[in-house]
Amino acid sequence: MSQQENGPVMRPWLDPDAVPFIRIRNITKKFGAFTAVNNVTLDIYHNELFCLLGGSGCGKSTLLRMLSGFEQPTDGSIEIDGQDMAGMSPCDRPTNMMFQSYALFPHMSVEKNIAYGLKRDRLPRGEIADRVAEILKLVQLEEYGTRKPAQLSGGQRQRVALARSLVKKPKVLLLDEPLGALDKKLREETQFELVNIQETLGVTFIVVTHDQEEAMSISTRIGVMDQGKIIQVGEPREIYEFPQSRFVADFIGSVNMFEGQVIKDTQSKVVIHCPDAQMDIEVSHGVSCASAQKVAFAIRPEKIQMSRTKPKKALNLTRGVVQEIAYLGNLSIYHVVLDSGKAVRVTRPNLERADEHAVTWEDRVYLYWDGTAGVVLNT
Amino acid sequence: MQRKSRLVLIAAILGFIFLYAPMVSLVIFSFNKSKLVTVWGGFSTKWYGELFQNAQILNAAGLSLRIAVISASLALVIGTIAAFVLVRFGRFRGRNLLTGMITSPLVMPDVIIGLSLLLMFVAMQNLIGWPNRGMTTIIIAHATFGAAYVAVVVQSRLRDMDLSVEEAAADLGAGAVRVFFDITLPIISPALISGWLLSFTLSMDDLVITSFVSGPGSSTLPMVIFSKVRLGVSPDINALATIIILIVSVGVIGAALAMRKKDMPHG
Ligand SMILES: Nc1ncnc2c1ncn2[C@@H]1O[C@H](COP(=O)(O)OP(=O)(O)OP(=O)(O)O)[C@@H](O)[C@H]1O
Ligand SMILES: [Mg+2]
């Protein structure tokens, strides 16, 4: 469902000549002495569904609020569609926002809530009614038009808020945790719907979330934030497979991290001495770092092979004991404790319904991976 | 459980008796035939008839109503503005002072408020020849303490209000004035209604401050009643009080219903 596989035409960020739709330059926001957003520079292209991902309090909402005009940046500039946003009030900006708290008007019915923005544009009545009906259908709330927000469930309120921000078809739609209150199933449906809406309306979306799975599944690109800074921007696959820092590797998905020291560094391979992993890990790509530098080797749980018998050929091989198995249905998570005492997470898909040869508790196993399975992180 | 609920019931009954027994006896005696207030002489509505002949009381009632409506409306505007300044304008110089000043009429003895207002009016009259003591000064005085009550009530409602609701309206293209009238005002309207009603009743019933600032020929209802009662309680006062109780009850119940309707979707 994400658009990352659609080839270079749909990936303007790979094209150096492409003109960004939203240009954020060195933007900083301070609340007193506290810096909520710290020198963020970001380009977002037309028709993107850009996800801002980060822990609680890292400044995601603040960044959105500066885009929508509710906070004035302490420093830096924002340009949308070639227009400088400095000093422009929220009601004149080409953005609409869906608030984290939904911010529905409690004294208006669902229909009136949604129609409010259209009325401000002085559209003819008939058209307003048509568009409200259309958007209600889209968010599956046709029967709820006359209810007041307080008479709706959390998930329904969220969809009203979504509908209200969508109905004006703004150039940029800012969504602050749009799906936070939905249960898993409805959430997945709505994610799908969101992507559909985005593709049909041709609106540029910026979505804030702290659910990394959601970010991975819906976005064209993800910006990972921490303590007011954008740490890495990239396509979901890039962020997952090639994290550039320990924080990103750790934040997105789960990861095994081995601390070590570079003992060999050539064009085509690096060897890292890791006492934790009881071996020298070989990585078949070069890293630009000083020799003897302390680094971390990060490897995803699903990239580690596991067997009870010793593999014939393995570049990186270590041993441990299975201490814990969590059965999740489609896959199982194994906690393997290496002889050094380091715990490693390994996930294996459950391909057979009943597998007598499966690894069980207390089994002594070999863990191994090849040279491209993990990444070396020096920040 | 059983015991506890019985206890609650008894406490409630005692409380109601304590609060309402005097009023009930007043209502009953307003239909008393006898001129003696404490002796039951049979049912009659003659005191009501007499009451509506009494020009002095009717005039006073009319004056009190006019004062109450005007001063409550003034208090509503002033108090609401004060509440907005205190809640929305963040920190500014003199904020704490203003907070203290706005609530001082709630705790200050009436005698002191009345006296200080009187001194101010006298000084103003000497300086600029306005206001003449009478209806104007009473309205100003009532609006002063009414505004304090309005400010307190509206402030708490404003504090509870989710600011992002206003931001959402602005985001959808509403200017500041529109946001105020479309969003803020309807949301705080229960507080405005109860603030207005509160100042209205306080104005209707104030005696001490009014006595200080009123002038010749401007006697409000409480003043007339008080002066009459000093000469001995007459049954037509009972009739008048009964009518006031009726009006107040209708007002209070009506306001409660209005609030309930407003709040229903919330609860
Ligand atoms: N008006 C404000 N005054 C002072 N500090 C603020 C203000 N608004 C936000 N902050 C601080 O800025 C930081 C970032 O806040 P922000 O709301 O952007 O976080 P967030 O990334 O959206 O978090 P969450 O995922 O919990 O919504 C927080 O530490 C917060 O306390
Ligand atoms: Mg937030």
Q: In terms of domains, do A81 and A216 share one?
A: yes
Which of A193, A225, A249 is the endpoint of a domain? Answer: A249
Q: Minimal Cα–Cα distance from B28 to chain A, Å? A: 44
The β-bridge relationship of strands A221-226 and A229-234 is antiparallel
Q: Which residue of B has its CA nearest to A161?
A: B168
Q: In terms of domains, do A340 and A216 share one?
A: no
Instruction: Report d(CA A44, CA A204) in Å as an integer.
Output: 8
Q: In terms of domains, do A266 and A177 share one?
A: no
Q: Which residues form ligand 1's pocket by a CB distance below 6 Å?
A: A 31, 34, 36, 54, 56-62, 100, 210
Return the structure tokens found at A14.
């790979």
Ligand 2: centre distance to CA A100 (Å): 6
**Mean pLDDT for the stretch of residues A114-128:** 95
pLDDT of residue B259: 63
Identity of the residue in B172, B175, B182 whose CB atom sits nearest the CB atom of A96: B172
Q: In terms of domains, do A243 and A371 share one?
A: no
The β-bridge relationship of strands A229-234 and A270-274 is unpaired
**Mean pLDDT for the stretch of residues A144-173:** 91
Q: Which ligand is nearest to the CA of B163?
A: 1
Please provide the average confidence, as pLDDT, over all residues in chain A. 89
Which residues in B lie closer than 8 A to residue A100 (C-beta atoms)? Answer: 164
Please provide the average confidence, as pLDDT, over all residues in chain B. 87
Q: In terms of domains, do A237 and A260 share one?
A: no
Residue A16 lies in a domain: yes
A243 touches chain B (CB under 8 A): no
Q: In terms of domains, do A285 and A307 share one?
A: yes
Residue with more model confidence, B158 or B37: B158
- Upper half-sphere CA count for residue A107 (Cβ side, 13 Å): 18
Whether B119 shows a pLDDT value over 60: the answer reads yes
Q: In terms of domains, do A201 and A277 share one?
A: no
Per-residue pLDDT reduced to its tens digit, B174-221: 999 999 999 999 999 988 988 898 899 889 889 999 999 998 888 999
Q: Where are the beta strands (DSSP E) in chain A?
A: 22-31, 34-44, 49-54, 75-80, 83-84, 95-98, 172-176, 204-209, 221-226, 229-234, 256-265, 270-274, 279-283, 294-299, 305-307, 316-327, 331-338, 343-349, 364-369, 374-377
CB-based burial, A315-343: b 16+ in 10 Å, e otherwise: ebbbebebeebeeeeeebbbbbebeeebe
Please give the share of chain B, as a percent, with pLDDT higher than 90: 43
Whether A104 contacts A149, CB under 8 Å: yes
pLDDT of residue B251: 75
Ligand 2: centre distance to CA A256 (Å): 29
Q: In terms of domains, do A226 and A361 share one?
A: no
Q: What's the domain range around A299?
A: 254-377
pLDDT of residue B266: 43
Instruction: Report d(CA A42, CA B203) in Å as an integer.
Output: 61
Ligand 2: centre distance to CA A226 (Å): 13
Atom of ligand 1 nearest to the CA of A32: 4
Which of A193, A221, A249 is the endpoint of a domain? Answer: A249
Which residues, other chains included, contact B49 with Cβ-Cβ below 8 Å and sequence gap of 6+? none
The one-letter code for the residue type at A199 is E
In this structure, what CATH number is given to the domain that contains residue A54?
Answer: 3.40.50.300
Residue A130 lies in a domain: no
* CA A179, chain centre distance (Å): 13
Task: Classify A25 as helix, strand or coil.
Answer: strand
Residue A161 lies in a domain: no
Q: In terms of domains, do A197 and A60 share one?
A: yes
A242 touches chain B (CB under 8 A): no
Q: Cβ of A101 and B164 within 8 Å?
A: yes
Q: In terms of domains, do A206 and A346 share one?
A: no
Substitution target in B160, B161, B171 with the highest count of A β-carbons within 10 Å is B171
A99 touches chain B (CB under 8 A): yes
Q: ipTM strictly over 0.85?
A: no
The side-by-side arrangement of strands in the sheet containing A83-84 is A34-44, A22-31, A75-80, A83-84
Q: Largest alpha-carbon pair distance within chain B?
A: 71
Instruction: Report d(CA B115, CA B109) in Å as an integer.
Output: 10
How open is the CA angle A97-A154-A179, to the nearest 5 degrees?
Answer: 50
Residue whose CA is at the smallest distance from ligand 1 atom 16: A59
Identity of the residue in A91, A148, A149 whose CB atom sits nearest the CB atom of B170: A91
Q: Which residue of B has its CA nearest to A174?
A: B171
pLDDT of residue B1: 54
Q: Tell me the β-bridge partners of A96.
A: A173
Which residues, other chains included, contact A153 with Cβ-Cβ below 8 Å and sequence gap of 6+? none
Nearest to B102 by CA among B79, B125, B133: B79
Per-residue pLDDT reduced to its tens digit, A208-225: 988 888 899 899 999 999
Helices (H), chain B: 2-30, 46-51, 55-88, 95-107, 110-128, 135-160, 163-171, 176-179, 185-205, 208-213, 221-230, 235-263
Nearest to B110 by CA among B213, B199, B197, B204: B213
Residue A140 lies in a domain: no
Please identify which residue in the block is written with the tokens 């991976």.
A369
pLDDT of residue A30: 95
Q: Cβ of B186 and A107 within 8 Å?
A: yes
Which residues in B lie closer than 8 A to residue A104 (C-beta atoms)? Answer: 165, 168
Atom of ligand 1 nearest to the CA of A59: 18
Residue A354 lies in a domain: yes
Which residues in B lie closer than 8 A to residue A122 (C-beta atoms)? Answer: none
Ligand 1: centre distance to CA A350 (Å): 42
Instruction: Report d(CA A93, CA B113) in Å as an integer.
Output: 51
Q: Cβ of A150 and B172 within 8 Å?
A: no
Instruction: Report d(CA A162, CA A181) in Å as an integer.
Output: 12
Q: Cβ of A104 and B186 within 8 Å?
A: no
Ligand 2: centre distance to CA A62 (Å): 7
Q: Tell me the β-bridge partners of A98.
A: A175
Residue with more model confidence, B51 or A356: B51
pLDDT of residue A302: 94
Residue A87 exposed, middle or buried by CB count within 10 Å (0-12, 13-18, 19+): exposed
CB-based burial, B144-164: b 16+ in 10 Å, e otherwise: bbbbbbbbbbbbebbeebeeb
Ligand 1: centre distance to CA A228 (Å): 9
Please list all protein residues whose beta carbon sits less than 5 angstroms from ligand 2, which is an ion.
A 61
Q: Cβ of A116 and B266 within 8 Å?
A: no
Whether B265 shows a pLDDT value over 50: the answer reads no
Whether A288 shows a pLDDT value over 70: the answer reads no
**Mean pLDDT for the stretch of residues A29-44:** 95
pLDDT of residue A34: 95
**Mean pLDDT for the stretch of residues B83-105:** 85
Which residues in A lie closer than 8 A to residue B180 (C-beta atoms)? Answer: none
In this structure, what CATH number is given to the domain that contains residue A366?
Answer: 2.40.50.140
Residue whose CA is at the smallest distance from ligand 1 atom 19: A57
pLDDT of residue A4: 46
**Mean pLDDT for the stretch of residues A9-22:** 86
Domain tally, chain A:
2
Whether B167 contacts A90, CB under 8 Å: yes
Question: DSSP states of B92-146 as a string?
Answer: -TTHHHHHHHHHHHHHS-HHHHHHHHHHHHHHHHHHH--PPTTHHHHHHHHHHHH
Whether A246 contacts A298, CB under 8 Å: yes
A104 touches chain B (CB under 8 A): yes
Whether A1 shows a pLDDT value over 60: the answer reads no
Q: Which residue of B has its CA nearest to A118?
A: B172
**Mean pLDDT for the stretch of residues B211-239:** 87
Backbone phi, then psi, for A316, in 5-degree steps?
-120, 120
Q: In terms of domains, do A54 and A81 share one?
A: yes
Atom of ligand 1 nearest to the CA of A58: 21
* Residues comprising chain A, all counted: 379
Which residues of B have a CB under 8 Å from any CB of A? Answer: 162, 164-165, 167-175, 178, 182-183, 186-187, 262, 265-266
DSSP state of B47: H
A107, A277, B238 from B229: Cα distances, Å: 48, 98, 11
Residue from A31, A56, A63 whose mutation best tests the ligand 1 pocket (most atoms within 8 A of CB) = A31
Which stretch of A61-75, A285-299, B179-193 has the lowest confidence by average pLDDT?
Answer: A285-299
Which residues in A lie closer than 8 A to residue B263 (C-beta atoms)? Answer: none
Whether A51 contacts A223, CB under 8 Å: yes
pLDDT of residue A109: 95
**Mean pLDDT for the stretch of residues B113-141:** 92
Instruction: Report d(CA A72, CA A93) in Å as an integer.
Output: 13
Identity of the residue in B171, B175, B262 whose CB atom sits nearest the CB atom of A97: B171
Whether A3 shows a pLDDT value over 50: the answer reads no
Instruction: Report d(CA B143, CA B122) in Å as an integer.
Output: 18
CATH of B65-218, one of 1.50.10.20, 1.10.3720.10, 1.10.1740.10, 3.30.300.210: 1.10.3720.10
Residue A106 lies in a domain: no
- Upper half-sphere CA count for residue A301 (Cβ side, 13 Å): 18
pLDDT band at B258 (very low <50, low <70, confident <90, very high): low
CA Rg value for chain B: 23
Please give the model's pTM, rounded to 2 decimal places: 0.80
pLDDT band at B262 (very low <50, low <70, confident <90, very high): low
Residue A212 lies in a domain: yes
Whether B203 contacts B72, CB under 8 Å: yes
Q: In terms of domains, do A263 and A245 share one?
A: no
Instruction: Report d(CA A136, CA A130) in Å as an integer.
Output: 10
Is the peptide bond preceding residue B131 cis, with omega within 30 degrees of 0?
yes
Whether A175 contacts A142, CB under 8 Å: no
Residue with more model confidence, A263 or B76: B76
Which residues in A lie closer than 8 A to residue B265 (C-beta atoms)? Answer: 106, 148-151
Whether A289 shows a pLDDT value over 80: the answer reads no
Question: DSSP states of A191-239 as a string?
Answer: HHHHHHHHHHHT-EEEEEES-HHHHHHH-SEEEEEETTEEEEEE-HHHH
Domain spans in chain B, listed from the N-terminal domain onward: 65-218
Instruction: Report d(CA B228, CA B56) in Å as an integer.
Output: 11
Please give the share of chain B, as a percent, with pLDDT higher than 70: 95
Q: Minimal Cα–Cα distance from A284 to chain B, Å? A: 52
Identity of the residue in B167, B174, B265 whose CB atom sits nearest the CB atom of A120: B174
Instruction: Report d(CA A131, CA B15) in Å as an integer.
Output: 57
**Mean pLDDT for the stretch of residues A134-144:** 90
Identity of the residue in B162, B164, B173 whose CB atom sits nearest the CB atom of A91: B173
